[in-house]
Amino acid sequence: MNQIVKKKRLNDSVTLMEILAPPVARKARPGQFVILRIDEKGERIPLTVADYDRECGTITIIFQKVGASTYRLDTLDEGDVLLDFVGPLGTPSDLAGKEGKKIAVIGGGLGIAIAYPQAKALHQLRADVDIIVGFRFSSLFILMDELKDACNNLYVITDDGSNGHKGFVTKVLDEQLKAGVKYDEVIAIGPLSMMKSVCSITKEYDIPTIVSMNSIMIDGTGMCGGCRLTVGGETKFACVDGPDFDGHLVDFEEAISRSRMYRKEEAESMERHNCLLTGGVR
């Protein structure tokens, strides 16, 4: 149980793993997440369920090496076992009544790994799905084949234009709307600033917009309060009330401020990690 049965590098900083976890795979749905621990000294890492296979009993996770714990996770290989793998957690994405609807699913950065299962589920429901994804540059592309199979139209844009299409996902969305494309709903997943910008555009067109809030999490059950955010003037907890919320009601300024709270500690953790790797002394 909790054995890594597949490991694949998607690019230099992003890794895909399939974990054998039949109880989680039986219940998992798009929009949910898991919390794992590598060992008894490891911190709790929340990761979105990128995919699942109920028959094989596996859960797919995709993570970026951004801190000490994700760097440690990336050192594990096929056959290794995780100490804890808890889930599925969170409220599943609401897919009811979306058959035949015109929906734009927008992903930025690693948010693409979170956007993919939602787009896939909507496409299977025969919704008309446009996927708009943005990367800093083309060498960071991930899940291109999977995304193509999960939509009617795929739009890929890069910050530096290295794939021939320069700009941000908001540029593509704005062009689509100005061209007369009528979306029944927009789903935006990625950096907070990106989701905020998407919501600013869709609000002008009165398009319902769902965002996935990747707040700081510890226990994943709503008890610690670390993932709290303000939605429509009320306090919500991303781990139990979300992670999906009405983007037009989210207080993004507060969420952005809270996301920066532990940058100093994160930097210190990485310094200690790098020191251990190089054999230095602290």
User: Following DSSP, what letter does each residue of 157-188 receive, concatenated?
Assistant: EESS-TTS-BS-HHHHHHHHHHTT---SEEEE
CA atoms in the 13 A half-sphere facing the CB of 180: 0
User: Domain boundary residue among 54, 71, 89?
Assistant: 89
Structure tokens at 268: 């210190």
User: Domain boundary residue among 61, 89, 117?
Assistant: 89
Same domain, 24 and 77: yes
Same domain, 81 and 100: no
Total domains in the chain come to 3
Segment (H or E) for 8 = strand 3-9
Same domain, 201 and 257: no
Q: Report the SS3 class of residue 281.
A: coil
Residue type, 91: T
Alpha-carbon gap, residue 209 to 127, rounded angstroms: 16
User: Domain boundary residue among 89, 115, 132?
Assistant: 89
Segment (H or E) for 100 = none
CATH number of domain containing 51 = 2.40.30.10
> What are the strands, taking DSSP E only, across 44-121?
45-48, 51-53, 58-64, 84-89, 102-108
Same domain, 230 and 176: no
Structure tokens at 259: 């996301």
User: What range does the domain containing 53 cover?
Assistant: 3-89
Cα 282 to the center of its chain, rounded Å? 34
CA separation, residue 214 to residues 47, 243, 255 (Å) = 9, 7, 10
Structure tokens at 109: 């950065």
Same domain, 82 and 104: no
Same domain, 179 and 251: no
**Tens of pLDDT, residue by residue, the chain (282 residues):** 899 999 999 988 899 999 999 999 999 999 899 999 998 888 888 998 999 999 999 999 999 888 888 899 999 999 999 999 998 999 998 888 899 999 999 998 888 888 899 999 999 999 999 999 998 888 888 888 999 999 999 999 988 878 778 888 999 999 999 999 999 999 999 889 999 999 999 999 999 999 998 777 777 777 888 888 999 999 999 888 889 999 999 999 998 888 666 555 555 555 655 555 555 544
Same domain, 275 and 184: no
